[in-house]
A and B are shown apart, each in its own frame.
Chain A
Amino acid sequence: MSAQDSGVALQKPSKPFWELIKVQGKLVLREPYSIIFGVAMPIFLLIIFGIVPTFREPISSDTTMTVFDLYIPILMVTVLIMIGLLGLPIPIVRDREIGWLRRISTTPISPTKLLAAQVTINIILAAVGFVILAAGSILIFGMNIVFDITGFVLSLVLATAAMFSLGLLIAAVAPSQGAANGMMMALLYPLLFFAGVYVPMQVLPSSLQTVSSFTPVGAAVKALESSMQGTFPSIIPLLVMTAYTVFFSYIAIRYFRWE
C-alpha cells in the first residue's frame, strides 16, 4: 500500500515549505501580473525617465538633484504599491474563494505556511525590482547615489512591511476576487499620487506634502530619499510606516478567514 510495500523507491519530496515556495513561484510565473505591474512597469518608467532630456537637468539652480533622481525612490515605492495591492492579496483571495486554502487545511500542514510562501515570493519579486532600479539608475544612467546603507535598508524593510500588511489586510477583508479588485483600484490611484508618481511631492503645495508624508507611501519615499542622499532618514517617516504596519497587520489578523 505504501511505496515501500510496492517495492518502488520512494522519492521523498523535500520540505513542505520549500515545495510551497516552488509551486507558488511557478504560479506567479504563469500568472505574471505582479511581475508585469510590480517589476516590469517601474523599470519601463525608469528607462523613459532616463531618456527624457529635461528629466536629467537640475530641478533648481541651488541643487544638482534632477527629476530623474527624485523618481528613483518613487519608482521603488511603486514596486511596493503594485505588489502590495495586486501581487500579494489577489492570489490569496482567489485561493480562498476556490476552496484551495480550505483544502490545504485538511492536510497536516497549516495554511499559514501557504500565506508565508506567498509573502516570501512577493518579497523576492520586490527585491528584484529594487535591485534592478538601483543598479540600472547607477550603471546605465550614471546616477550618483550616496547610500546611507543602514537607513536605506531600514526604510525599504519598513516600507515593504507597511505595503505588504496593507495587501494582507485586503486579503483579509475582501469577500471575493471582485471585491479585492475593487479595493485595489480604489487604493491604487491615491497611493500612486501620494507617492509622487504623477508629480513628485516637492513640486506640490506644502499642505499636500504634509498629507503625503503621513501616508505609508509618502513616508516611504521621504525615508528612501534621504537615505539615498547619504543621510539617515528622520524618525517621523519611520514611525509613520511602523504605525501603519502595526495597524494594518492587526486588522488583517483579526479579520482573516480561511474560507
Chain B
Amino acid sequence: MLNTENLAKKLGKSNRINEPTNRKSIITVDNIHKQYGATIAVDNVSFSIAEGEIFGIIGPNGAGKTTTVECISGLRVPDSGSITVYGLNPRENHEEIRKIVGVQLQESSLPPRIKVWEALNLFASFYPDPLNAHDLLESLGIDKKRNARFKQLSGGQKQRLSIALALIGNPKIAILDELTTGLDPEARRETWTLIERIRNRGVTVILVTHYMDEAERLCDRVALINHGRVIALDTPVALAAKEGGEVHMQFVPSTPVDDKVLTALSGVVSVEHRGNRIVVAGSGDVTTRVLYALSKVGVQASDVQVKSGNLEDAFVKLTQANDKIIKREVGPQ
C-alpha cells in the first residue's frame, strides 16, 4: 500500500541527530503551570526543543502531556510561566503561531461526508503558502482516496489525512498527539516512516505518545511527564541505559566456569545458573567484560543472548519511583 520503507531507510535513520544542543532552539517552555479547578494538569514544566528535532512527550494517561502541547499551539493559555515559539508568544500572536504550527489533535475527526480533497483544499485556503495538496496526498500514500468521503476511510487512512491536514499549511512545527492510538501494527509502522519523512523535510515534530516503542523508534529526545511534571528528559537511548535497569546476558559455556571469575568483574551484579545456561546481570558493557574474562580462562560462550533495558523499563521505573515520592508528599490516603 505504501512504499515508504526503503525511502525511510535511505532518509530516515541516516541523518538522525542525537545532539540537539548543537542546533538552534526554537521552542522554549519555561515553568508553565496550568490548573483546572483543584486539579493541577501541568506543574512547572520547562524544556526547549531544537529545530528539526523529533521531540517526544511521554507519560501515563492524564499526566498532562496534551495540556502541555495545547499550550504550545496556543489552544490553551498557561496560568503562569512563558512559552516562546520562534520568538513568538502563543498567547499574543495567535495567528502567526497558527501559520507555522500544524496540529494533529487527539480524538478529532472530520464531518463524515466531507471528501478527502475537499478537506485538504479547505485547509489549504486557510494558509498563506500551502503545500500542493496533490503532492502531499501522494507522499502520504492516500492519493487514490482523494475522492473518498471521510467515513469511508480506514483508521490508518483517517490518521494519514489528519497528518496531511496538519502539514498542508507548510508548517515549521508539527504537533502530533496520540497519532497511532487505535491503529493496527502495520498502519502504525507506516505512520512512523511518515513521521521520519516529515522531519526529513525540515519540520520540527512534537510527538505525544504513550507508546514507548514509538518514542524509542522516532524521537531524538523525550520528556517523561508524570503528574504534570517533567521527571526525565534525555535521548531514548540514554534514558534506557541510565534508568532501564541492568543488562541481562546469558550464554552456554563450553566447560563449567567458576562463578568467581564472573562475580569478580566490575559491573557484574549477579550470576545465576539456569540449566546449562549462565545468566549474568550487570551494568554498562558487562557483555564485553564477561566474554573477555571467559576467553582468558579458555572457555567459549555459545548461544549468547543480551537483553538490555529499554525505554519501557525506564518509563515504568521512573514513573513508579515518582508515584511513590508523590504519595509520600501527599500522605497516605
**Residues on A facing B (Cβ under 8 Å):** 1-3, 6, 8, 10-16, 18-20, 23, 26-27, 30-31, 91, 94-95, 98-100, 102-103, 105-109
Contacts and interface: CB of A to CB of B under 8 A. Distances in A.
A99 B120 CA distance: 17
Contacts of B135: 3, 6, 8
A255 B110 CA distance: 24
A104 to B, nearest CB: 8
A107 B127 contact: yes
Given A98-B108, A98-B109, A3 B121 contact: no
A221 B147 CA distance: 44
Interface stretch (B16-24, B28-36, B111-119, B209-217): B111-119
Nearest to A16: B125
A6 B133 CA distance: 12
Interface string B151-192: 000000000000001000110000000000000000000000
> Taking each of B102, B103, B107, B125, which has the highest tally of chain A beta carbons within 10 Å of its own beta carbon?
B125
6 contacts: A2-B129, A10-B132, A100-B111, A103-B110, A103-B165, A109-B126
A106 B111 contact: no
A1 B73 contact: no
Indicate the size class of the contact surface on chain B.
35 or more
Contacts of A109: 126
A3 B131 contact: yes
B98 interface: yes
A210 to B, nearest CB: 43
A108 B130 CA distance: 12
A5 to B, nearest CB: 10
A249 B118 CA distance: 31
A107 B98 contact: yes
Interface string B90-112: 00000100110111010111110
A102 B105 contact: yes
Contacts of A91: 111
Which 10 residue pairs of A and B lie closest in terms of their CB atoms, listed nearest first?
A: A99-B108, A13-B125, A106-B103, A19-B125, A3-B132, A30-B113, A107-B126, A108-B98, A109-B126, A16-B125
Contacts of A3: 130-132, 135
A19 B102 CA distance: 19
Nearest to A113: B126
B75 interface: yes
A30 to B, nearest CB: 4
